[in-house]
Structure formats: C-alpha cells, structure tokens
Amino acid sequence: MKAIVLHNKGSADNLKFEEVEAPKINDDEVLVKLKAASVNHLDIWVRMGNVPGNYPIILGCEGAGDAVEVGKNVKGFIKGDKVLVHPRITCGKCEYCFEGNDNLCRNTRQLGVTTDGCYAEYVKVPQENLYLLNDKISYEEAAAVPITFGTAYRVLISLAKTKPNEAVLIMAAGSGVGTAAIQIAKLAGAKVIAAAGNDEKLDKCKDLGADLLVNYYRNQNFDEEVKHLTNGNGVDVVIEQIGSNILPKALNCLRKGGRLVTLGTTAGNKVEMDVQHFYRNNLTMYGTSGTTHKEVKAAFELVKDGKLKPIVDRAFALKDASLAHKYMEERRNFGKIVLKP
C-alpha cells in the first residue's frame, strides 16, 4: 500500500511517500481502507520530535473509510461498513480505564505516534476504535471529528462544565478545535468570544456563531479588550491552546472564580505567570491531553444529528502530506486539513 512514512524527526520534507506492506489484522481487529485522514498539530509535534514517536512510523491519528476485512471475533461491524477511526487504543483493564478516564490509560497506544496511523491507504484498529458513519456525513468531515470535536467536548462540557449564559473565550478560534469549540459552546447556550490572529478567520468565526471577536495579533493587550467587552467583569471560561506569553494574558481574561482549560502549546511550552493573581481570584486551571471514547462518541452523535458541523479547510492528496504540514505550520487553515489516499 501507499503510505507517508517518517523515518527520522525533522522538517516536513522528512515525510516520505512510500510503498509499504499493508497491515494484517488479528481476530479482534478491523482493516479499514481509508478515504480521508486529518492533519493535526500532534502529527507535526511527532514529526519534529517534540512528542516521542516510534520511528519509522506512519503518521496520522484519525481517519475515516470502509471496513474491508473484519476479524472473526468482531461484533457490530461487517465488511463494507463506513467507519470513523478513533486514535487512542486503550487496554480497558487499568484503573484509569475502569474510572472512565481512558485518555490516561497506562497501556495506551496512539495511532500515528506509537503505532502506524492513518496517513496510508489502510489502517488496522480494534473494533472498540470504530464508529459507524451515516449518510449525512462525508469521509472528510468524519475524519475531522475525534481529536477536534472530542477535545472541544471534553474541555467545554466534561471539564469546564459550561452553563447557559456564561461567557466563553476561545483562543485560536480558527483552528480545528477552535471551530468545534465555538459550535459546542453555542449549543451549550454560552456567549462566545472568538479570538484569532487575523480578521478573515474572525469573520468565519462569526459565521459559525461567535458573538464577539478579538484579534490578538493586532491587539497584544487582548486581555484588556476582553475585559472591556464584558463590562469589566471578564469571562467565565477560557479555552487556551497556544501557551507561551498568551496563557498568562488568557488567565487575566477570567472573572473571579473563572475556569481556564489548557490543551496545547503551539507557540511554546514555557510560561511565566502571576501566581498571586491566580489564587487571589480563586481561578481554576485544568490541563488535559487526549479525550475519552465516551466523549468522542458523544460529540460524534451530535455531528451525525446535524447539530455540529466539521469545518474542512482544504484537502491534499496523500502524496502531498509535506505540503499539508507546511500549510498548517504557516497557520493558513481555518478548521481542519485532510489528506485523501
């Protein structure tokens, strides 16, 4: 089969389009012929060595396609089913899995990180990692669901417990997670302030339902602007995925007793913050990595019901994965980028 293989960490040019052996399934697995695979920052971090991966590795956390071979122990799926692939393979036996926190599984394997992923014509996964598609959602849209919508659901519903009429600030609102978070926050009844780095993305955020807009490249003191937009009060919830010098300013946007969820550091891992401001204002900060099967399923049901809409910015041919990575690194995308094998 054709696949994108990463042999060593480095630039996007290290992504090699190669002929490799197709995976062979066991009795509990399903072989999926991929029709679409999404591109995530996690793929870039693995490629650069910021997240340890097992080289050589076929990148790609998530995808969608057709079940073409089904193990004899598999229940609920048959050959020909249209399916979505969930990226995290968990053991179901450790204490975290028993608690329902399978994103913390002690024995987890991650597609595209520790085991071959979806930048390929075929991928094999356990049946627990598949969800059936309906005719209302395309392969490209489905491939954009697990990490973006699963994560947005986790941070807004499971962790921040967003309530109707609360004010929610979404940083990097034009990203895949950002576009999902706008929709989920609005579905929860919140007032949404979308923050992004250019006006074109902000206009699209408005179309998705954002109530107020903030350009944090044009206004470096965006925390003051957010306070102004909320009559000096600040917001109830901040969803932050940039890190670096942005996170402390995002904390400043919170009202007393507010909640911030941090889920990424695309601009840098090191942060200097005013701890006194944090505790004196009774702020809460959650860190999160990954999402549970339950959360992905809940988000996907909302997508299948037409209540949420994955935003696909652009599709690249699989062989052009390096161009897709560069496109994301240049922050040109609004929503998700997908590869088509």
Give me the pLDDT at residue 83, please: 98
* pLDDT tens track, the chain, 341 positions: 999 999 999 999 999 999 999 999 999 999 999 999 999 999 999 999 998 888 999 999 999 999 999 999 999 999 999 999 999 999 999 999 999 999 999 999 999 999 999 999 999 999 999 999 999 999 999 999 999 999 999 999 999 999 999 999 999 999 999 999 999 999 999 999 999 999 999 999 999 999 999 999 898 899 999 999 999 999 999 999 998 889 999 999 999 999 999 998 887 888 888 899 999 999 999 999 999 999 999 999 999 999 999 999 999 999 999 999 999 999 999 999 999 99
φ, ψ (nearest 5 deg) of residue 240: -125, 130
β strands within 140-224, DSSP E: 167-170, 191-196, 212-215
CA distance 178 to 263: 11
- Give me the helix-helix angle, 293-304 and 176-187, nearest 10°: 70
Tokens of 146: 């697990």
Give me the pLDDT at residue 27, please: 98
Give me the pLDDT at residue 315, please: 98
Name 280's Cβ contacts closer than 8 Å, sequence gap at least 6.
none
Name 234's Cβ contacts closer than 8 Å, sequence gap at least 6.
167, 226, 227, 252, 253, 254, 255, 256, 258
**Cβ atoms within 10 Å, residue 7:** 12
Q: What is the dihedral of CA 261, 267, 268, 273, to 10 degrees?
A: -50
CA distance 287 to 104: 12
β strands within 130-234, DSSP E: 130-132, 167-170, 191-196, 212-215
Residue with tokens 């197709």: 22
CA distance 237 to 167: 7
Give me the pLDDT at residue 281, please: 97
Asked whether 36 and 139 are in contact (CB, 8 A), the reply is: yes
Tokens of 18: 């190669």
Long-range contacts made by residues 270-277, C-beta under 8 angstroms, separation at least 24? 270/244, 271/243, 271/244, 271/245, 271/247, 272/245, 272/248, 273/247, 273/248, 274/248, 277/251, 277/252
CA distance 167 to 253: 11
Closest CA to 169 of 245, 247, 244: 247
Domains, in order of start, for the chain:
2-144+310-340 (3.90.180.10), 149-287 (3.40.50.720)
Radius of gyration of the chain (CA): 20
Mapped onto helix, strand or coil, the DSSP state of residue 74 is coil
Closest CA to 41 of 32, 54, 50, 29: 50
Q: Which residues pair with 198 in a beta bridge?
A: none
CA distance 178 to 107: 29
CA distance 76 to 329: 39
Tokens of 33: 């012929």
Q: Which residues pair with 15 in a beta bridge?
A: 6
